[in-house]
Structure 1
Amino acid sequence: MAGKKRAKKESMEFRNTQLADALQTQDMAAVAFALRHGPTVVPLMRPGQRDNPLDVGEVWTYRDPNTGQVALLLFSDAKHKPETLPPGVALQSPEWLKSFLSTYEEQITTVFFDIAGPHPLQAAPADLIAALEV
């Protein structure tokens, strides 16, 4: 019985309801507010080491084999992450997102939120950085 409660609790932790609601309405101001005030679910190629709080893991990005362009996929809820992506996820803060986008702004061409639905949204890294700075 305890295992079921723990699994349910963990799935509840890996989401940002405010971001999901903003994506549903496609309201960019609400998306920006949700990003500034809540976490974002980030897919990981390699999860961080539990014993090292500074190790956040290796973020998974998609590189188009034809163009070489890189996309960052972010999610409002871990349940929206397609099964074809690596299984690991992290819940990252607005500060982390801003730092990551600022560091890799030149390499990342686009950012997709909930790419497989239910309410996908695409944005430029520069626009998200600006939204996080307000």
Structure 2
Amino acid sequence: MAGKKRSKKDPPEFRNPQLGDALQTQDMAAVAFALRHGPTVVPMMRPGQRDNPRDGGEVWTYRDPKTGDVALLLFSDATHQPEALPPTVALQSPGWLRAFLGTHEAEITTVFLDIAGPHPMQATPADLIAALDA
């Protein structure tokens, strides 16, 4: 049933349909709007502890063994995450994403959105920070 409401016992949906639509058009303004107003699916090495709100877990990043460059991978939907990545994901808020990028901007070389498709996009951390601050 398309109009069915989720009950409190249904698991959360790990997706941002607005971000998926924006990636489909490859419109950076629409991507920026979606990132500012909705969650982002982030792969996690270790999830945060539920009983400790200060423990946000450990975000998974990719380090190129040849160059040492670090990439952050973000997804519009958990189903777009490649199987080679850790299976744990978190649904992070725009505020979290802005804080994370601000803290790690010097380390992260590039950010990939839906790297395995269906509509991948690449940006610098500075570009995403500017989009989130707009």
Same fold (TM over 0.5): yes
- In the alignment, structure 2 segments of 5+ residues that lack a partner are 1-5
- In the alignment, structure 1 segments of 5+ residues that lack a partner are none
TM-score by length of 1: 0.91
Structure 2 equivalent of residue 85 of structure 1: 85
How high is the sequence identity, in percent, across the aligned residues? Answer: 78
Report the Cα distance in structure 2 between the residues aligned to 1:51 and 1:84, rounded to whole angstroms.
29
Report the Cα distance in structure 2 between the residues aligned to 1:14 and 1:56, rounded to whole angstroms.
16
Alignment root-mean-square deviation, CA: 1.5
Q: Secondary structure at the match of 2:68?
A: coil
Moved over 2 A (4+): none
In the TM superposition, what whole-angstrom CA distance separates every residue of 1:52-107 from its partner, at most 9, and x where no partner exists? 12211100000000000000000000000111101110000001000000100000
Amino acid at match of 1:130: A
How many matched pairs? 128
Q: How does 1:1-134 map to 2 (within 5 A)?
A: 9-10=10-11, 13-134=13-134
Report the Cα distance in structure 2 between the residues aligned to 1:101 and 1:50, rounded to whole angstroms.
23
TM-score by length of 2: 0.91
Report the Cα distance in structure 2 between the residues aligned to 1:126 and 1:19, rounded to whole angstroms.
19
